[in-house]
Structure 1
Amino acid sequence: MMKTIGFIGTGVMGTGMIKQLLAKGNNVKVYTRTPSRAAAVIAAGAIYVETAQQLAQQVDVVFTMVGYPTDVEQLYLGREGILTAAKTGTIFVDMTTSSPSLAHELYVKGLSLRQHVLDAPVSGGDVGAQNGTLAIMVGGDEAIFNAIKPLFEQIGATIVYQGSAGNGQHTKMVNQIAVAGTMLGVVEAIVYAEKMQLDVNNVLKAVASGAAGSWTMSNLAPRIVAGDFEPGFFIKHFIKDMKIALDEAEKCHFELPGLATAERLYEQLAINGLSEKGTQALYHYYFAN
């Protein structure tokens, strides 16, 4: 097991994962561009480090969970990037949902510097992060994956090695494509139930355990009914993920019309000022148009 863990990114997901690592008795050093956002994990026992580069120099494994591929690229490959700052043999685990091609680029750059880079995006939302039940999809060298799998098991319930660098991100794209379609179906089902003047909570009891059942139906449908549209996962980040998947499909010359439809609807929500809401806020589309 690694002696010291670094974690860069203390947003909704990062905070939950850091707290899980701390609760398991690990020493965790953290960095985030907005220090005030680290207050909760510092109160839980994490140690704040002033720069990402300093953090990378002080730990054995670095987890990163930032916003966009551009953030990942700058963090790892920028003028003062963490790959060049760290001591030889450091393991980097990017858990951001990012571009598969960038994940492969980071892996290759890491090899040239005698560093190890895994791409390990997650699924499960804020609830999964808080409860340590995330699904984790990992690409990179299998030996490195096995070396830190005990750490993955402290923050996730389903950890699956997917093969070479970038495959973790490709697997996350599969996940996001399924999520987009499922969310669209769940929201339209709720809208239909309301328009037919049904008791929606009662309807959910009937359908959630049958063929229509899903994580989205069980966890996000009740939030919609309760009027809770706060983010477990931001719309702005979901749009980013859908665009990555659509771009990857275009590169390989096939279409994803269902995903393209979902992406278009979410883009409209962002235009309407809802980009900071949770993905379940797709519900609002049906009452704003």
Structure 2
Amino acid sequence: MKKIGFIGLGVMGSAMAQNLLKAGFEVSVWARRPEKARPVLEKGAHWCETLSECARGRDAIITIVGFPQDVREVYFGAGGILENADQGTFLIDMTTTSPQLSVEIYAAAIQRGLHAIDAPVSGGDTGAKNATLSIMMGGDQADCEACIPLFEAMGKNIVYEGPAGSGQHTKAANQIALGGAIAGVCEAISYARATGLDVQTMLDSISQGAAGSWQMSNNAPRMLKGDFAPGFYVKHYIKDCNIALEQADEHELSLPVLQLVRDMYTKLAAEGMENDGTQTLIHYYEKEHS
């Protein structure tokens, strides 16, 4: 597996494609906005003028685009991946999307002699840059195992979750857990400020104990610096919350914490913060308690 087509060069996709290049893969890229490809092209990637060109002649095609409708378009649309990929190609969607859509892609791929894997990731921009992403694989186990050398160029915690759609269900569980974690960090900071504590000292004190988390170690420092650049967009987290809540409804589950956090982010997005990073949740507490 050497020739890789890569579609989706946002905050995470660009860094992931660059890590594939570092690992010695031949990477061809396509993006709706060609300017986003510049950092990857400077590292040696090949530019494709069309999506169909990017899909042809590859051993594997990786997609990490924004929303489920974008996934559907690049796979099923005219000039898309399914109608242009060579037989035997591995189709790896690393977008966080609907589990049902992943199953639909898998079924369509089987009919065309292709191998489809849903492999969403967690770890944000830091994990993408450092090739330490967690990668959650769904699909045929043999197909997933065949792609592990590819995944090892981008991540560290690479786990087979089960049949098609299982990677997406695992990512939904990740986003459910994330909601409470980041809200908890914001509440701890808000409490520290209200009671006159030095916030950094408080975080240093609790981050190595039972309250410690990735969110506390990575997003809390950004909150304190006023750095709200996106490692992961608010608009994408809202999308992920909605996917998880839709799945919960189908299984008659109540997720009140996730729903509350989703509503907080929705309010911030309506105020113009949809393109900020998820650490911008601290603004909700500042507005509510100012």
TM range, smaller chain: over 0.9
Once the 2 structures are TM-superposed, how far is the Cα of residue 90 of structure 1 from its aligned partner?
A: 0.7
Deviates more, 1:115-124 or 1:16-25: 16-25
1:188 aligns with 2:151: no
1:207 aligns with 2:206: yes
Counterpart secondary structure, 2:273: coil
- Pairs within 5 Å for 1:25-104: 25-104=24-103
Once the 2 structures are TM-superposed, how far is the Cα of residue 93 of structure 1 from its aligned partner?
A: 0.3
- Identify the residue that residue 285 of structure 2 maps to in structure 1: 286
* 2:190/2:286 contact within 8 Å kept: no
- Pairs within 5 Å for 1:15-26: 15-26=14-25
- Pairs within 5 Å for 1:1-289: 2-289=1-288
Once the 2 structures are TM-superposed, how far is the Cα of residue 80 of structure 1 from its aligned partner?
A: 2.1
- Distance in 2 (CA, whole Å) between partners of 1:132 and 1:100 is 25
Q: Which amino acid aligns with 1:209?
A: Q
Give the fraction of aligned pairs with identical amino acids, expressed as a percent: 50
Counterpart secondary structure, 1:173: helix
User: Could you list the runs of 5+ residues in structure 1 that have no partner in the other structure?
Assistant: none
TM-score of the two chains, using structure 1 as the length reference? 0.98
Counterpart secondary structure, 1:158: strand
* 2:131/2:156 contact within 8 Å kept: yes
Runs of 4 or more, structure 1, over 6 Å off, are none
Once the 2 structures are TM-superposed, how far is the Cα of residue 197 of structure 1 from its aligned partner?
A: 1.7
Counterpart secondary structure, 2:153: helix
Once the 2 structures are TM-superposed, how far is the Cα of residue 131 of structure 1 from its aligned partner?
A: 0.2
- Distance in 1 (CA, whole Å) between partners of 2:2 and 2:183 is 44
Once the 2 structures are TM-superposed, how far is the Cα of residue 3 of structure 1 from its aligned partner?
A: 2.3
Q: Which amino acid aligns with 2:28?
A: K
RMSD of equivalent CA atoms: 0.7
Listed one character per residue, the Cα deviations across residues 2-29 of structure 1 (whole Å, up to 9, x for unaligned) are: 1211110110000110111111111110
Once the 2 structures are TM-superposed, how far is the Cα of residue 59 of structure 1 from its aligned partner?
A: 1.1
- Distance in 1 (CA, whole Å) between partners of 2:196 and 2:129 is 35
- Distance in 2 (CA, whole Å) between partners of 1:210 and 1:78 is 49
Counterpart secondary structure, 1:171: helix
Counterpart secondary structure, 1:280: helix
Q: Which amino acid aligns with 2:133?
A: L
- Distance in 1 (CA, whole Å) between partners of 2:143 and 2:232 is 29
Counterpart secondary structure, 2:272: coil
Counterpart secondary structure, 1:66: coil
- Distance in 2 (CA, whole Å) between partners of 1:61 and 1:67 is 20
User: Could you list the runs of 5+ residues in structure 2 that have no partner in the other structure?
Assistant: none
Once the 2 structures are TM-superposed, how far is the Cα of residue 288 of structure 1 from its aligned partner?
A: 2.5
Q: Which amino acid aligns with 1:3?
A: K
Q: Which amino acid aligns with 2:114?
A: Q
- Distance in 1 (CA, whole Å) between partners of 2:178 and 2:137 is 19
- Distance in 1 (CA, whole Å) between partners of 2:198 and 2:149 is 45
Once the 2 structures are TM-superposed, how far is the Cα of residue 198 of structure 1 from its aligned partner?
A: 1.2
Listed one character per residue, the Cα deviations across residues 71-104 of structure 1 (whole Å, up to 9, x for unaligned) are: 0001101122211111111101000000000000
Q: Work out the number of aligned pairs and report it.
A: 288
- Distance in 1 (CA, whole Å) between partners of 2:62 and 2:107 is 18
- Distance in 1 (CA, whole Å) between partners of 2:50 and 2:115 is 21
TM-score of the two chains, using structure 2 as the length reference? 0.98
Once the 2 structures are TM-superposed, how far is the Cα of residue 58 of structure 1 from its aligned partner?
A: 2.5
Q: Which amino acid aligns with 1:166?
A: G
